Structure 1
Amino acid sequence: MLLLVGVALVGPTESRGAFLSSTDCPDVETNALPTTLSGLRLALLFPSCRPGDKPLRAAQDRWLARDKAKHVVFSGLWTLSTQYVLVSKADWSEPDALPASIASGAAVGIAKELYDASRPTETASGKDLVADAVGIGLAVGVIML
């Protein structure tokens, strides 16, 4: 599910990357904030094009960074704790609780990126969504043991 949402937001891979390492941007209004899905897509594809931001180069959003580790750990712990609450406290069966746990972890990660895209001093990151998916996948592995 998270992969489908990520593909819908980010789009095909051949449309990315050309602007990530330069300061060129597509035409956008200078005061426009990404408040729609297309605005979020623009913020994810061209993070340096946000009004008032300094250009964000691809090297600043590294795959191996403390921020990505935080995303992996938080989304994994969120998924595990949701599973625990649903199974132990709400008396759901494990197979019924797993999709809800996965969905809640994905929703929190997407909400965080939407929040980042709406802030003038922050940028949304597709790499953060991938880190969230890794954390959720690790949690599912632990749950399935």
Structure 2
Amino acid sequence: MSFRWRCGILGLGIVILFGFAPLGWAQAASPSSADSLTAAAVAFELRYGASPTPAPIRDRWLGRDKVQHVVFSGLWTLSTQYILVNKADWTERDALPASIASGAAIGILKELYDASRLTGTASGKDLVADAVGIGLAVAVIQL
């Protein structure tokens, strides 16, 4: 197996490990489960007949969160490209698809993590922001 393939498999393994491991660790480390209720939640349910739910968070197109997604995904893609070309001796042409795929994978894994949380939801707008960041990084790489 060539050096490129070994690096690619190692990188994919790292993405999978750090992308999926926190899901299980967070659930195992949590002392309470979704089925348990606090005294305040029980009192609220007895008083009002419904469990308290947080107000839905508006997912705006422009905001700090979207800027963070654009910047992080762009920097991730640029960093991956730099490492593959300058440290692993890949050609720029061979490294570009791997860089794009790793940036997209991180964004998708982050949204899957958000969706798995009790009060979280995945956001298509976050994925669009990730794609914008990756696109900007590709534009910089192609200069």
Asked if Structure 1 and Structure 2 have the same fold, meaning a TM-score greater than 0.5 normalized by the shorter chain, the answer is yes
Residue 54 of structure 2 corresponds to 54
The one-character-per-residue Cα deviations of 1:38-96 (angstroms, maximum 9, x if unpaired) are xxxxxxxxxxxxxx753526xx1000010000000000000000000000000000000
Residue 141 of structure 1 corresponds to 139
Residue 74 of structure 2 corresponds to 76
1 or 2, which has the higher helix percentage?
2
Residue 65 of structure 2 corresponds to 67
User: For residue 60 of structure 2, what is the amino acid of its counterpart?
Assistant: R
Residue 41 of structure 1 corresponds to none
Give the TM-score normalised by the residue count of structure 1.
0.61
Q: Which has the larger radius of gyration?
A: 2
Distance 1:104 1:53, change over 3 A: farther
Give me the whole-angstrom Cα distance separating, in 1, the residues matched to 2:53 and 2:108: 22
| Counterpart selection for 2:93 from 80, 92, 95 | 95
User: For residue 121 of structure 1, what is the amino acid of its counterpart?
Assistant: T
Residue 48 of structure 1 corresponds to none
| Counterpart selection for 1:120 from 118, 121, 125 | 118
Q: CA RMSD in A?
A: 1.8
Moved over 2 A (4+): 52-57
Give me the whole-angstrom Cα distance separating, in 2, the residues matched to 1:137 and 1:53: 37
Give me the whole-angstrom Cα distance separating, in 2, the residues matched to 1:132 and 1:124: 13
| Residues 117 and 124, structure 1, Cα contact 8 Å, conserved in 2 | yes
Residue 39 of structure 1 corresponds to none
SS at match of 2:126: helix
Deviation at 1:121, TM superposition (A): 2.2
Give the TM-score normalised by the residue count of structure 2.
0.62
Deviation at 1:122, TM superposition (A): 1.6
Deviation at 1:137, TM superposition (A): 0.1
Gaps of at least 5 residues in structure 1 are: 1-30, 32-51
Paired residues, number: 94
SS at match of 2:54: coil
